[in-house]
A and B are shown apart, each in its own frame.
Chain A
Amino acid sequence: MKKKLALVLCAMLTVTSLAACSKKGTGDSTSETKGDVLTIEFFQQKGEEGPQKGYKTIIDKFNAENPDIKIEMNTVPDPGTVLTSRISSGDIPVIFSDYPTQQQFKQKVANGYVQDLSGQEFLKNVNESSLDMTKQDDGGYYALPYSRNYIGVYYNMDMFDVNGLTVPTTWEEFVNVCETLKAAGITPMGLHGKDPGRVGHMFQCATVAWAPNGIETIAKATAGEAKLEGDPEFTNEFNKMATLFTYANEDALALSDTACYENFVNGQYAMCITGSYARGTLLSSNPDMKLGVFPLPNDTKETTRTLSGIDAAICVSAKASDEEKAAAYKFLAYLAETENAQTFCDNDGAPSCINGVVNDDKGIAPMVELINNGQTHDWMASTVSNNVISDLYNVVQGFWADKNVEAVLKNMDESIAVTSAE
């Protein structure tokens, strides 16, 4: 008898566990209605404290003003990977942030995962140049561009003051600044190259600054129409990069980004090339530091351009229900109001894409000026496939080790031949 009972219990356990499985399998929507309140997930990709605080403030205000909608922000580690796998399994967040100028985003649009936002009133609040960057192949707009990112030279303002230095606007001035600092016994530049991805960011920044048509040349090379070997612009870029290394820390290839930031805020280097994404981390590790940023200068001020893309852009899932979409539009319109975008900008610190928002941080003024003048170029991922780019990062990491200009161009050609063949 006892054994029969045990068997029955076993069977029951099995059935219930299976039932639990199937129940989980059917729940593919990320929002739920509790009472009269519609809860909507906002999956956002910025892990830094600043932007999170900005979003949180706006969301709290929105939720208080709209008692029938509840926006819930969700931030996870390694968000890009999580978003990809959630989308591929059909579990798309109703609202999510993404990078609309990149090839990956274009794939999402082509597969019909992202809602077309063309014609929405709130897009009129976005400044024209930012909105233009997000235009997709079909001419539609699928995201609300919210803030701009950039890669630049961060510098310790106090160190510059003590040594009587001003922000350099040309390559010659920049080298002079480095010389002065070196003579004063300070390591002028902190570079971090342990992670090929970070080497890549510096490489992209250098390409935009010193090889004006560089990204286009790479795009042509992937189509088999050009070679980098002997290209005067790239030769110039890598020669300048080699010069830069003579002013940089010798252990760059051993340094992770966080270790480099730590050294920088503790005054070991006067400058550090990194992205707008690092600003919050730098300031939170040393709140007393006076931090400024300027674009990596080219030969003249007029020919200097900076790498800048759309950092945060908010999208809506095309698979959401009409009710969810309506609520999402309401939230996007709220985000796009100048007053709220200003709140975000104050917390995030990056240049805003929304009209009327002012960035009052004097430290980033040289960068904002350049971006507002339109002297920018988008990231490589907007024209070249990730596959090709991530291998170029490896090749450039090799250059950081051997500093051989001829070899790096040849290796880049070889790398492109392999990665673009697939």
Chain B
Amino acid sequence: MKKFKPNRLATSSRATYFGFTIIPVLLYTFFYVFSVINGIRYSFTNWDGMAQNYDFVGFKNYISLLKNPYFWNSMKTTLLYSVMLVVCVISISLTLAISLNSLKWFKTFTKSLFFVPAMIGGVTIALIWDQMYYRVVPVIGQALGIDWLSQSLLMTGKTALPAVVFVHAWQAVALPTIIFIAGLQQIPDEQYESAQIDGATLFKRFRYITLPYILPTVTINLVLIIKQGFTSFDFPYALTGGGPVRSTEVIGILIYNDAFKNLKFSTANAEACLLFVVVAIFSLTQLKLTSKRGND
């Protein structure tokens, strides 16, 4: 056996490692890139999902969507949904992470307990909460004499959306909590100790030590949750099916209904493309904003 020169060794092993990525890359290309490009192409046609022939119609689908009040309604609902989800999940998971991190005993056990909802499927959780809203919540509302809580929260347009977001948030806090804990564990204890000696209050310690350290994790979590909010489908679909009267019809449900119920595949594709643009804009702006903050 002849000896490899160091740099040749590096090239050769790099090639080997690259070789291992060929299959995932091909699968990714086939199932993702190809489908996305095809989807964009269909959004410029009048394909109904079934016909063998279809024509290219330019931006017609997009123009009629922009004129459609239901599309704007679902965009608004989706935006509201995402904002509520982000606020709920970030505040709850940060509080949870800080509390869990300061635990002295049963730390791992308690952490894993809070992680359980993340291991249950979305539809399963939605079905469990569907029963809770119908059977349990009204009983609590009646016992406490709270009017709006005395009937199923999914019943009225005003309460349905927050009720769906609550269920989604209930599951979604688990992962950000873990990421926050990882961020918190990087903070050296000495900093807190010296701040305490200097007489910093609890809030000041959070503001000047904790927050700067966990800012990168906040960015990651924000991207994750915004994406979850904008692409949400399973929770609203299983809980309300978009009702009552379109009050929980997020864009995911609109896309599904247009494609499979109304057989307007090209319109549905155009909706998905517009959603993609919105998500991209949000993520980029938000990445920019938080990275600027991080450099200060």
Contact = CB atoms under 8 A, between A and B. Distances in A.
Nearest to B51: A111
B242 interface: yes
A44 B203 CA distance: 64
Given A81-B260, A194-B154, A386-B261, A422 B68 contact: yes
Given A11-B19, A84-B260, A390-B261, A398 B245 contact: yes
Interface stretch (A254-262, A266-274, A299-307): A254-262
A422 B240 CA distance: 26
Interface stretch (B20-28, B79-87, B89-97, B112-120): B20-28
Contact of B52 (A104, A112, A256, A401): A112
A3 B12 contact: yes
B162 interface: no
A390 B13 contact: no
A200 to B, nearest CB: 11
A194 B52 contact: no
Interface in B1-55: 1, 12-13, 15-16, 19-20, 22-23, 26-27, 30, 48-52
B134 A255 contact: yes
Contact of A401 (B20, B240, B245): B245
A108 interface: yes
A112 to B, nearest CB: 7
Nearest to B249: A394
Interface in B94-135: 130, 133-134
A355 B208 CA distance: 84
Interface in A376-422: 385-387, 390-391, 394-395, 397-398, 400-401, 418, 421-422
Contacts of A193: 244
A14 B243 CA distance: 47
A283 interface: no
A120 interface: no
Given A251-B151, A397-B243, A259 B134 contact: yes
B50 A194 contact: no
Interface string A176-206: 0000000000000000011111000000000
Nearest to A411: B245
A384 to B, nearest CB: 12
A254 B133 contact: yes
Interface of A is mostly: helix
A203 B30 CA distance: 45
B68 A195 contact: no
Contact of B155 (A10, A254, A422): A254
Interface in B201-216: none
B283 interface: no
Contact of A1 (B1, B19, B30, B261): B1
A104 B263 contact: yes
B287 to A, nearest CB: 35
A6 interface: yes
A107 B264 CA distance: 12
Given A18-B26, A259-B134, A386-B262, A196 B241 contact: yes
B282 interface: no
A187 to B, nearest CB: 16
Interface string B47-82: 011111000000000001000111000000000000
Given A107-B48, A196-B243, A394-B243, A7 B19 contact: yes
Interface string B237-281: 000111111100000000001001111110100000000000000
A197 B244 contact: no
B54 to A, nearest CB: 11
B152 interface: yes
B260 A390 contact: no
B294 interface: no
A111 B50 contact: yes
A284 to B, nearest CB: 20
A18 to B, nearest CB: 7
B133 A13 contact: no
A17 B26 contact: yes
A256 B49 contact: no
Contact of A107 (B64, B133, B263): B263
A19 interface: no
B241 A108 contact: no
Nearest to A2: B16
Contacts of A387: 262, 264
Given A10-B16, A386-B261, A391 B70 contact: yes
A113 interface: yes
Given A113-B50, A398-B244, A418-B70, A253 B155 contact: yes
9 contacts: A3-B16, A17-B23, A111-B50, A193-B244, A194-B244, A253-B156, A254-B133, A386-B261, A394-B243
Given A251-B134, A400-B244, A421-B64, 16 more contacts: A3-B15, A87-B50, A88-B49, A108-B50, A194-B241, A251-B151, A254-B154, A386-B261, A386-B262, A386-B263, A394-B243, A395-B245, A398-B244, A401-B155, A422-B64, A422-B68
Q: Which 5 A-B pairs have the closest CB atoms?
A: A254-B152, A10-B19, A398-B245, A254-B155, A387-B262
